[in-house]
Structure 1
Amino acid sequence: MRKIIIALSLAAAFGGTALASEKCNAAMADWKPREALQTKLEGEGWKVRSIKTEDGCYEAYAITAEGKKVEAYFNPQTLQSVEMKIDD
């Protein structure tokens, strides 16, 4: 029983990160600058609080045009969204 609980805890802790990093596997030489992502998001009406690098992806903390707080992951080569967590 103890092993099952530990396994489930590890899966929950690292599951979301694994999904994002699998989709963000571009060589750093192919990355677009963070400023390009910020410009893209602001053009869509987002208010960007910060953008950092996390597990090979860009991770943006922002408020969407609809007013929702999000933590969103983007492929740094294509700037396409790969995962988004909405804070209610």
Structure 2
Amino acid sequence: MKALFAMFILLAGSVSFAGPDCTKEAKDKWMPEAKMKEMILSQGYKIKKFKIDGNCYEIYGWDKEGKKVEIYYNPVDGSVVKENKK
């Protein structure tokens, strides 16, 4: 029983840390990071951290209202794939 519970915890933990699947396109098809950052800033966001997470561009920062956000973007077209407001 303990082994089954431990296996459940391991599986649940690995699923909760998985980021979204943003694109299947090769990196040579991705928008340059500088262009992506410029697009995000033009939408009124402030970027604290910009990074590549798997096959996504991801930011940590603030929206126009000053609320903390974590946003995953499709790196090819810049569309929002997942957004968490804190």
TM-score above 0.5 = yes
Tell me which structure has the larger Cα radius of gyration. 2
Alpha-carbon deviation of 1:16?
Answer: 5.6
Change (3 A) 1:67 1:9: farther
Contact 2:36 2:78 in 1 (8 A): yes
**Contact 2:22–2:75 (8 Å) recurs in 1:** no
- Which segments of structure 1 move beyond 3 Å, counting only runs of 4 or more? none
Contact map agreement 1:50 1:61 (CA 8 A) in 2: yes
Q: TM-score with structure 2 length normalisation?
A: 0.80
The alpha-carbon distance between structure 1 residues 16 and 82, as it changes in their structure 2 partners (threshold 3 A), is farther
Aligned residues: 85
Unmatched tracts of structure 1, length 5 or more: none
Gaps of 5+ in 2: none
Is the contact between residue 72 and residue 81 of structure 2 (CA under 8 Å) also seen in structure 1?
yes
What is aligned with 2:78? 79
Deviation at 1:37, TM superposition (A): 1.6
Scaled by the length of structure 1, the TM-score of the pair is: 0.78
Fraction of identical pairs, as percent:
27
Structure-2 change in CA distance of 1:80 and 1:29 (3 Å):
same
Which residue in 2 is equivalent to 1:50? Answer: 49
Give the counterpart letter for 1:27 in structure 2. A
Query: Paired residue for 1:7?
Result: 8
Deviation (angstroms), 1:10: 2.6
The structure with the greater share of residues assigned to helix is 1
Secondary structure of the structure 2 residue equivalent to 1:29? helix
Q: Which residue of 2 aligns with 1:69?
A: 68
Letter in 2 for 1:58: Y
Q: CA deviation at 1:4?
A: 4.6
